[in-house]
Amino acid sequence: MDTVFWSARQSAAWKTKIGLAEMLKGGVIMDVTNAAQAKIAEEAGAVAVMALERVPADIRAQGGVARMSDPKMIKEIQDTVSIPVMAKCRIGHFVEARILEALGIDFIDESEVLTPADDKYHVYKHDFVSPFVCGCRDLGEALRRIGEGAAMIRTKGEPGTGDVVEAVKHMRAVVDGIARLTRLPDQELMTAAKELGAPFELVYEIAKTGKLPVPNFSAGGIATPADAALMMQLGAESVFVGSGIFKSGDPARRAKAIVGAVVNYRDPKVLAELSEDLGEPMVGIGISQLGENDKMAVRGW
């Protein structure tokens, strides 16, 4: 067996992509829908912004097909902030991805929040200069996306709900999946790869290194500083906050508090101070009130 790991054999470009993901660690990536919100996010200490037309909570409420955002709006946000700007394309929609790349987007999110454009295949991400982040619910899904060229993984959670339970479930699934692989003898790794639906070489690498070859962030349902700290303690390296900020009563204050919570995620005293007097959180929807057809996290193959 070749002992040079899969990730060590990737192109220099793939490593530069992961380099940016490394720079975003220990931070908060915030969903914003216009330049004014982007400015608020940057001033609150966001490490990057995600430019999109509607936050997941509104996509949920309004229904219809959710697509890539208008490039005009994305460009306005790029012109407003100095931090990285991310944007979403639909699952499998490689033309939307090419458009985002042409706009010089810093990270493309091939996202289940938008309506999938392909019900079988994701974008082949190795072909792009722009790095991609993709969602996952478990280790197998994470490794399929990395195999396709994703330079960052985020656990999906359930976007637009303000309910953190799915984010917790998916993060635990990934972390437990990694721990399980490290305990398996080599003989069992091929069957593990089959069961995970994941590339064998990546399964082998995870079994030996005990970690993903790309950073793993958390998304989908984070609404409070405590939620953000919880995800960090469970193994997230950064958090995405979507609807949780601009659907709350005092976005600037809440954004700042969540940034502080990610830095001090192990310090309950600081977290107590940060959680004080933040105004109304987003109202949210409990997962149990959501029908199976309403779940975004199940999108992804």
Partner 1 sequence: MVASPDRRAGGKVGVLALQGDYAAHIAALRQAGAEAFEIRTRAELERADRVVIPGGESTVMGSLLQRFNFLDAFRDRILAGMPVFGTCAGLILLAADIEGRRQPGLGVMDITVQRNAYGTQVDSFRAPLATSVPGVREIEGVFIRAPKVTRVGPGVEVLASLGGSPVLVREGSILGATFHPELVPGALIHQWFLAFPVEPRKVT
**Catalytic annotation, residues:** 88
Q: Which of 4, 129, 183, 293 binds partner 1 (CB under 8 A)?
A: 129
Task: State yes or no: residue 82 binds partner 1 (CB under 8 A).
Answer: yes
Nearest CA to 93 out of 72, 109, 74 is that of 109
- Strand locations in 91-248 (E): 107-111, 132-136, 152-155, 216-218, 239-241
Report, in Å, the least distance between residue 159 CB and partner 1: 24
Q: Which of 104, 197, 210, 286 binds partner 1 (CB under 8 A)?
A: 104
3-state helix, strand, coil in the chain (%, to 5): 50, 10, 40
Retrieve residue 232's tokens. 């960090």
Q: DSSP character for 116?
A: P
Task: State yes or no: residue 65 binds partner 1 (CB under 8 A).
Answer: no
Give the CA-trace dihedral at 74, 137, 300, 221, to 10 degrees: -40
Q: In a 10 Å sphere around its CB, with 0-12 CB exposed, 13-18 middle and 19+ buried, how is residue 77 labelled?
A: buried
Stretch that binds partner 1, among 10-18, 58-66, 228-236, 279-287 (CB under 8 A): 10-18
- What character string, x for contact with partner 1 (CB under 8 A) and - otherwise, covers 227-266? --------------------------------xx--xx--
Q: Which of 42, 163, 166, 205 binds partner 1 (CB under 8 A)?
A: 42
Stretch that binds partner 1, among 20-28, 50-58, 112-120, 166-174 (CB under 8 A): 20-28
Task: State yes or no: residue 27 binds partner 1 (CB under 8 A).
Answer: yes
SS3 call for 28: strand
b/e sequence 110-145, b meaning 16+ C-beta within 10 Å: bbbbbebbeeeebbebeebebbbbbbbbbbbbbbbb
The sign one gets for the Cα dihedral 113, 66, 294, 249 is positive
Task: State yes or no: residue 19 binds partner 1 (CB under 8 A).
Answer: yes
Task: State yes or no: residue 32 binds partner 1 (CB under 8 A).
Answer: no
Q: Which of 52, 105, 174, 175 binds partner 1 (CB under 8 A)?
A: 105
Cα 202 from Cα 179, distance rounded (Å): 14
Task: State yes or no: residue 106 binds partner 1 (CB under 8 A).
Answer: yes
Q: Which of 5, 45, 98, 273 binds partner 1 (CB under 8 A)?
A: 45
Report, in Å, the least distance between residue 47 CB and partner 1: 5
Stretch that binds partner 1, among 45-53, 54-62, 196-204, 226-234 (CB under 8 A): 45-53
Task: State yes or no: residue 274 binds partner 1 (CB under 8 A).
Answer: no
Q: DSSP character for 26?
A: T
For the residues of 204-215, what is the DSSP string, one character each?
HHHHHHSS-SS-
Cα 25 from Cα 21, distance rounded (Å): 7
Stretch that binds partner 1, among 13-21, 32-40, 175-183, 243-251 (CB under 8 A): 13-21
Stretch that binds partner 1, among 30-38, 99-107, 168-176, 244-252 (CB under 8 A): 99-107
Task: State yes or no: residue 210 binds partner 1 (CB under 8 A).
Answer: no
Retrieve residue 157's tokens. 């959670």
Task: State yes or no: residue 131 binds partner 1 (CB under 8 A).
Answer: yes
Task: Select 8 or 61, whichever has its Cβ closest to partner 1.
Answer: 8
Token match 């706009």: residue? 103
For partner 1, the binding residues (CB under 8 A) are 12, 15-17, 19-20, 22-27, 42-43, 45-48, 78, 82-85, 101, 104-107, 129-131, 259-260, 263-264
